[in-house]
Structure 1
Amino acid sequence: MVDSAPGRPTADDGHPAARRAARAPTGTTGPGGHMTREPGRRGVLAATAAAGLGLLTACAGKADGDAAPPGAAPPRTGAATPGSSHKPAKKRPQLPRGGRQLFPRYQLAGFCGLPGFAALGRLGTGDLDERAREIEKLAHTYAGDREPLPVLELLATVANAEAGSDGTYRSRTDADTVRRFHAAARKHRALLLLNIQPGRASALGEVKALREWLVHPDVGIALDPEWEMGPGEKPGDTYGSTDGRELTEIARYLSGLVREHDLPEKPFIFHQVASSVVRDQHAFRPQPGVAAVKCADGIGSPGLKRETWNHLVTNLSRGMHTGFKLFYEEDPKGSRLMTHQEVLALRPQPEYVMYE
């Protein structure tokens, strides 16, 4: 995401959503060194009720009748013997590049974005296959002694500056767009993460609305709680927040899908720009089959980003993995973008690296 200063790429200025962008608070460095966002960046994000964004259909997936029960040993394969009534066992769903557990086998890396809105991230620009090939190279750069697993993080629920007819201050990306990105993820053996900026809608409700995609073994959730507004709050005016109990509710729902459909481990990322954005984090309870990743957000120089990282990953909750977010446009302003060597030198080492 980039600021909306003259000459900078922004959402389409001709669209009503772009004209009604909310002005955000002034960016500052808060206690512990964590960074708040620049005003223009929040304004652009809050202005993305994109033309043509329709409502996703929350289609409940059906459980596979012959899926193995949770915790069962992998079924044996092979043809049935002559005269036997047994059918060949169905292969259990796998992650895009094999196996059923994300960590510690894989290193995740990717781009985020929304098609047609270059200001919201690199994934929303240019040819999708070309972007997927770039992500493949990025994933290999960060892999080290792990296997690379590319990630496409698509904004599926976008916070808006106006309430809309239902008063939720959010729009949902249309199903055709999600389907296209899921097809690209399949083609390139990548993960698709569906990013949620809830506005005043229920974060868990937005996750449930994506069920038809989440029943697939290569689709996970990313929550952006700074855009989760309470009563009387508007996106762009203040930071929103979540808490450890809500994160547990979302993880529990995803765990239920994993169990029902015998899915491999499902990623659940939450982005955090400041301590206030995730309250009572130690109330989070890990759930079976769900890999929770705390992704440190925030714009700034390498030194400032390291301070943010050290502040946010201190005393991690039990069972929590780590991620790190970089910004191609904003981070270099007055400084430079961190190198991959500098990112890999962070401790604990991020298991998900995302560029916007």
Structure 2
Amino acid sequence: MRSRPAARVLVATVACGLLIGAAGCTSSEPEPTRATLSSASADTVTVAAGSDAAERSLRASRALFRSAPGAVVAPAGDADAVAAASGVAERSHVPVLLAGEGGGKAVARELDRLGAGWYQAEGDVSVDTDATEQDAPDGGDAPEAGRASRPTTVVVADASADAAVVATAKAAGAHVVRMPDGVTDPAAAPDVVTALHDGAGGPTLLVGSAFAALPDPEWTVRAAESGFQLRNGGQRPFDGHRYVALYGAPGAPALGVLGEQGPEATVRRAEAVAKPYRAKSDELVTPAMEVIATVAAGDAGADGDYSTELPVSTLEPYVDAAHDADMPVIIDLQPGRSDFLSQAKKYESLLKKPGVWLALDPEWRLTKDQVPLKQIGSVSASEVNEVSSWLAALVRKEGLPPKALVLHQFRLSMIQDRDALETHPELDMLVHVDGQGSQPDKQATWKALHAGAPKGLHWGWKNFYDEDTPMLTPSQTMSEVTPTPSLITYQ
């Protein structure tokens, strides 16, 4: 998977050198009679996320048009006027500019930047400009292309709130795609990911106040351009998705059910275990594998770390079988006296693949005087942060879609200073509550770990075939474990 060059993110200002004729800039070119598209470079990601629709309309005009012979102006609060202006602008291939509460001064500045000689007003709006108020020509010439090899892809969070921007985008010949209701991350919207993939090589404009909280718009767009999507669509591991996974180590039945059969049979078994959940889930259910890559050992071994690192070649058949079946694989680490980052780096070649995620099991993270099964290990938030920073950087470097980082835990002491856990836009972090035993004890652990947990965490639950008394059925898992887990594993 190839990485793309770094892009500039334009949020609040536009440099004079980027858009000829911008306010405060000069140009020796004659007044245009035909609109020209923005000369923004192909890798530009522009965000118009202000809370004011008028401001967003002006940002869209600046992002999409280098110049225009005219524009259509309407008051931001008049839906009928905005609708009328939108129709005129689309036919005339010019932008729609909305006047907000501050009046028409900002609109006048944008008309000057565009080099517009005229404007058509819809509704009660006044603009102090040298441009002439007149009716727009019906069916103007299409704008001349800018430098980008492909048209701009415009992602709109709320098409009704930004009807003016939609019209401006259509007037510019841009491709418009709308976000689903209630979704604020483009990576979680299948149609948006598809549109950004199809538009790779052209500029991108994200429009809507919902995008104000998007941590890294540039990376989000670049990841979507890869085109990778999870089985049920989108790229965000735990946004609209639920997983049912088999857990274990290859060739080791005692460590979990995954080791009871080979890769292809594991795929079939995972599909069968996940199937009953689909009728009970309000989110799409996908089978998965959690493969133990480093196994905590009872003896020190040649390297003295009480952990057996399986070779990549042993894991590859499971990763390949899961990839062919369109299901994710979680690589699980039990480091013994080693550390999580050192072990994670041993499996970098697998983690470079989309759909291969990482799990840390602090139960088996031991100090220099501890031994597996005699003490329960723990990890500091700072060590987890080292791993998450490394994994996030790998995602960014390789141009990968978001990954999941799973943290196993059944005691509060297993993750120290968890309030200090760092988040990254490239990762979805999940706490996997994997205690075994009676259901009252498991429920008590589940509730204790939720109390005071950092915001933004996702949650997982483990069902043990032999150790739980009794093991929950799929129906019970979905109804009795609240909040409903995003990842359910079987061991």
- Could you tell me which residue of structure 2 aligns to residue 222 of structure 1? 359
Aligned to 2:315: 178
Question: What is the CA deviation profile of residues 242-299 of structure 1, one whole-angstrom value per residue up to 9, with x for unaligned ones?
Answer: 1222222211111111111221110111111212211111111111110111011111
Determine the structure 2 residue equivalent to 1:130. 265
Give the counterpart letter for 1:157 in structure 2: T
Q: Select which of 243, 255, 269 maps to 2:392.
A: 255
Residues 226-305 of structure 1 mapped to structure 2, 5 A cutoff = 226-305=363-442
Relative to the length of structure 2, the TM-score reads 0.54
User: Which range moved further: 337-346 or 105-114?
Assistant: 337-346
Return the TM-score normalized by structure 1. 0.74
Aligned to 1:139: 274
Give 2:264's aligned amino acid: D
Query: Quick check: 2:200–2:225 contact (8 Å CA) kept in 1?
Result: no
- Cα offset, 1:203, TM superposition: 0.7
The answer to whether 1:121 aligns with 2:243 is no
1 CA distance for matches of 2:401 and 2:453?
Answer: 24
The residue that corresponds to 1:210 in the other structure is 347
CA distance in 1 between partners of 2:3 and 2:236 (Å): 23
Structure 2 residue 245 is matched with structure 1 residue 110: yes
What secondary structure is seen at the aligned counterpart in 2 of 1:104?
A: coil
- Aligned partner of 1:27 in structure 2 is none
CA distance in 2, matches of 1:163, 1:79: 52
The one-letter code of the counterpart of 2:253 is A
Tell me which amino acid in the other structure corresponds to 1:113: G
1: distance between equivalents of 2:234 and 2:6?
A: 15
Shift of 1:98: 3.4
Cα drift, residue 99 of structure 1: 1.8
Give the CA deviation at 1:232. 1.2
2:393 aligned partner, one-letter code: G
Give yes or no for contact 2:4–2:399 (8 Å, CA) kept in 1: no
Aligned residue in 1 for 2:288:
151
How far the C-alpha of 1:65 sits from its partner, in A, is 4.2
Output the CA distance in 2 between the equivalents of 1:131 and 1:70.
Answer: 44
Distance 1:318 1:167, change over 3 A: same
Q: Which has the higher helix share?
A: 2
Match of 2:472 among 331, 334, 338: 338
Change (3 A) 1:218 1:301: same
Letter in 1 for 2:440: G
Kindly provide the CA deviation profile for residues 19-72 of structure 1, in whole angstroms up to 9, marking residues without a partner as x. Answer: xxxxxxxxxxxxxxxxxxxxxxxxxxxxxxxxxxxxxxxxxxxx7244775985
After TM superposition, give the deviation of residue 220 of structure 1 in Å: 0.5
CA distance in 2, matches of 1:78, 1:271: 37
User: Would the aligned equivalents of 1:196 and 1:222 in 2 still touch at CA under 8 Å?
Assistant: yes
Letter in 1 for 2:387: I
After the TM superposition, which residues 28-67 of structure 1 pair with which residues of structure 2 at under 5 Å, given as runs? 64-66=2-4
Deviates more, 1:246-255 or 1:179-188: 246-255
Larger Rg computed on CA atoms:
2
Taking the aligned partners of 1:155 and 1:118, their CA distance within structure 2 comes to 12
Contact 1:92 1:263 in 2 (8 A): no
Gaps of 5+ in 2: 10-44, 46-152, 154-195, 203-223
For residues 337 and 348 of structure 2, what CA distance do their matches in structure 1 show? 20
1:93, distance to aligned residue in structure 2 (A):
3.1
Contact 1:68 1:262 in 2 (8 A): no
AA paired with 1:170? S
Aligned length: 283
Contact 1:295 1:325 in 2 (8 A): yes
Q: CA deviation at 1:116?
A: 2.1
User: Whole-Å Cα distance in 1 between the matches of residues 408 and 200 of structure 2?
Assistant: 44
Counterparts of 2:7 and 2:288, CA distance in 1: 28
Q: Which runs of 5+ in 1 are unaligned?
A: 1-62, 81-88
Structure 1 partner of 2:227: 92
For 2:318 and 2:455, the matched residues in 1 are separated by 32
| C-alpha separation in 2, matches of 1:212 and 1:262 | 14
Counterpart of 2:305 (choices 138, 149, 168) is 168
C-alpha distance in structure 1 between counterparts of 2:435 and 2:396, whole Å: 35
Amino acid in the other structure paired with 1:64: R
Q: Secondary structure at the match of 2:198?
A: coil
- 1:144-188 Cα distance to aligned partner (Å, 9 max, x none): 121122211111011111222222111111222211011111121
RMSD: 2.4
